[in-house]
A and B are shown apart, each in its own frame.
Chain A
Amino acid sequence: MNIAIEAHELRKRFISYERTGFLSKRKIVIEALRGVSFGIKWGEIYGLLGPNGAGKTTTVKILTTLLIPDDGYAIINGYDVVKEAKAVRKIIGLVLYPDKGFYSRLSGYENLVYFGRLYGLDKSTAELRARELMDVVGLKEAMNRPYEEYSLGMRARLAIARALIHDPPVLFLDEPTIGLDPISAREVRELVRKLRREGKAILFTSHNLWEVEEVCDRIGIINNGLMIIEGSPKDIKDMLGLRYTVEVEVQINGRIEVLREETVNPADAIRKLISEAEARGKVGKIRINEPSLEEAFIRVIKSEK
């Protein structure tokens, strides 16, 4: 079986209340998910993107058995997330809030051992695994310090270590690099890529779109509870017809001019601009600006509005 995570037509509504006066309130129905479907293969990192309130966290919570969908179903490694929730919980690791979710009076190591025990590891295995992971996430020196003294970056790294404590084949990483300094964030991305090479299926969310582009094999953009577009970052940019900007510098009598063209086919544009530049003077620097995932994201969300 090649598919690790399958979501089929997931639907979820929440009942909330809106204040209409000093004491009065009105019931409102929030359609958090309106039929979201996608699949993630083994050894694949899937980026789930969307603006705030799009339904990303609701999707993650359904897939991690924390929420029961109103309609539709989801399967993880062959187990139904509602009917076989316990089997699902054994094979998933979760990062939800990188800056909280631990016992402040316990050390980072003690926290990890405890969560390892909750995942069914025996004491010695949990201790061994916790020590290994503290080393992997660069917290070996601070392993016996109380969690309350950890910086935001250290907490985020500990959250990743917890997700890996029982070596699960499926990972849900909800903004795992938030608050991390650039070096730590790069280490986390490297770790996530290493986990992919081990064959794990990873659902990754982040508002940092260049990071998603760098890490994810495929992405899905959701908005207002609907999957808008899905594919590899390159496929999505192609589907949206985003243009590359090609710039060629040309020296004419000691003066520098820039020839610029926006195109979907940069190779043809380069050839055309170089021959044009050669005809006018000496060819200087050549720059190709690839359209970013951020542009694609903004275009998708704006077109929805």
Chain B
Amino acid sequence: MRSRLGVFYAVMINELKIISREPGGLVLLIILPYFIAGGMAFIASFFTKITSNVFIRQFVGFEVLMLSMIMVQTGARFLNEERNGGRLEFLLASPTSMYVILLGTSMVMIIVDIGAFTIASLPLLYLNYGLIGMIRLTIALLLLFIGLLPLYGLGLLMSGIVIKLKDADTIMNIVTPILTILSGATYPIYVLPWWIKDLIYVLPMYITFSSMYMEIMGNTGLSLILNLILSAIIYLLLGVTAYASFEKEIKRGGV
């Protein structure tokens, strides 16, 4: 167990080193939600009054949406890059399980994402809610952590599909807009028909966004948090099972 943790730590440090040597993406992650939420608020201000709550809602929504996409894509993109770089065979031929490698890689993304969210939202929440906003932000970050776990499960499922079909770009270009539309994080979902709403509730993005937003507003929803934990368990199980089946299949057909 100790050695497995050691390997897990090594995978994380390795991924962190690689990310830190390409810092452009991180900067984008921090400033992009301001641009998008700010731009939307600017346009909307021409026909309605924009309150700080509306801006925060949009800001959190876009941040959750971006982080969700990154989490879902991390595993698949990682495997695709490893295959193209000729490293996948060496990872598969090592005694370390691919789950450890994928979890380590995704965990770094989770930490980086949470860090980016913290940096991006800190000034906004402090200006609006003062110190109490910082406490709410801490709880919201914990909820974000839980919310990223089911997305890791979805990411594992995507990873399996990518290594089976050997085409990360096409798959991601299909999956990303579908998940974006069904995120429910950047628009009011109450206007939608029931069947689309149900679909949005089943996916983890809306529950993550909603529980975080409610927490920041000071209205913690226990049922939302329970839903979030349940969703983490279900999607992780789904992802692990699907990936195991796909990995076995590639060992029959070749990397």
Known: A89-B94, A103-B87, A123-B6. A67 touches B14 (CB 8 A): no
Question: Are the C-beta atoms of A118 and B92 separated by less than 8 Å?
Answer: no
Please report the C-alpha to C-alpha distance between residue A92 and residue B92 in the assembled complex, in whole angstroms.
Answer: 12
Q: Which residue on B lies nearest to A58, using beta carbons?
A: B254
> What A residues does B96 contact at CB under 8 A?
118-120
Whether a CB of chain B sits under 8 angstroms from the CB of A177 is no
Q: Which residue on B lies nearest to A97, using beta carbons?
A: B86
> What A residues does B7 contact at CB under 8 A?
117-118, 120
B-binding segment of A45-53, A104-112, A223-231, A287-295? A104-112
Known: A96-B89, A100-B85, A115-B90. A123 touches B95 (CB 8 A): no
Please report the C-alpha to C-alpha distance between residue A90 and residue B97 in the assembled complex, in whole angstroms.
Answer: 12
A-binding segment of B16-24, B109-117, B216-224? B16-24
Q: Which of A64, A90, A101 has the most CB of B within 10 A?
A: A101
Q: Which of A68, A86, A94 has the most CB of B within 10 A?
A: A68
Q: Which residue on A lies nearest to B17, using beta carbons?
A: A106
> What B residues does A103 contact at CB under 8 A?
14, 18, 85, 87
Please report the C-alpha to C-alpha distance between residue A64 and residue B255 in the assembled complex, in whole angstroms.
Answer: 12
Whether a CB of chain B sits under 8 angstroms from the CB of A114 is yes
> What B residues does A64 contact at CB under 8 A?
93
Q: In the complex, which range does the number of interface residues on chain B fall in?
A: 20 to 34
> What B residues does A58 contact at CB under 8 A?
254
Whether a CB of chain B sits under 8 angstroms from the CB of A34 is no
Select one of A67, A97, A114 contacting B10, CB under 8 A. A114
Question: Are the C-beta atoms of B86 and A117 separated by less than 8 Å?
Answer: no
Q: Which residues, 6 to 53 on A, are CB-close (under 8 Å) to B?
A: 14-15
Whether a CB of chain A sits under 8 angstroms from the CB of B49 is no
Please report the C-alpha to C-alpha distance between residue A114 and residue B7 in the assembled complex, in whole angstroms.
Answer: 9
> What B residues does A59 contact at CB under 8 A?
none
Question: Are the C-beta atoms of B95 and A66 separated by less than 8 Å?
Answer: no
Whether a CB of chain B sits under 8 angstroms from the CB of A71 is no
Question: Are the C-beta atoms of B14 and A105 separated by less than 8 Å?
Answer: no
Known: A96-B89, A102-B87, A122-B6. A14 touches B94 (CB 8 A): no
Whether a CB of chain B sits under 8 angstroms from the CB of A205 is no
Select one of A90, A101, A114 contacting B89, CB under 8 A. A101
Whether a CB of chain B sits under 8 angstroms from the CB of A65 is yes
Interchain nearest-CB distance for A99 vs B (Å): 8
What are 25 A-B interface contacts by the 8 Å CB criterion? A14-B253, A14-B254, A61-B254, A64-B93, A66-B89, A67-B254, A67-B255, A89-B93, A94-B93, A96-B86, A97-B86, A101-B87, A101-B89, A103-B18, A103-B87, A105-B17, A105-B18, A105-B21, A110-B17, A117-B6, A117-B11, A118-B10, A119-B96, A120-B7, A123-B6
B interface residues (Cβ-Cβ under 8 A, vs A): 3, 6-7, 10-11, 14, 17-18, 21-22, 85-87, 89-96, 101, 251-255
| Contacts A102-B87, A105-B18, A118-B10 known; 14 new A-B pairs at CB < 8 A | A65-B93, A66-B254, A67-B254, A96-B90, A102-B85, A106-B18, A110-B14, A115-B94, A117-B7, A117-B11, A118-B96, A119-B95, A119-B96, A123-B10
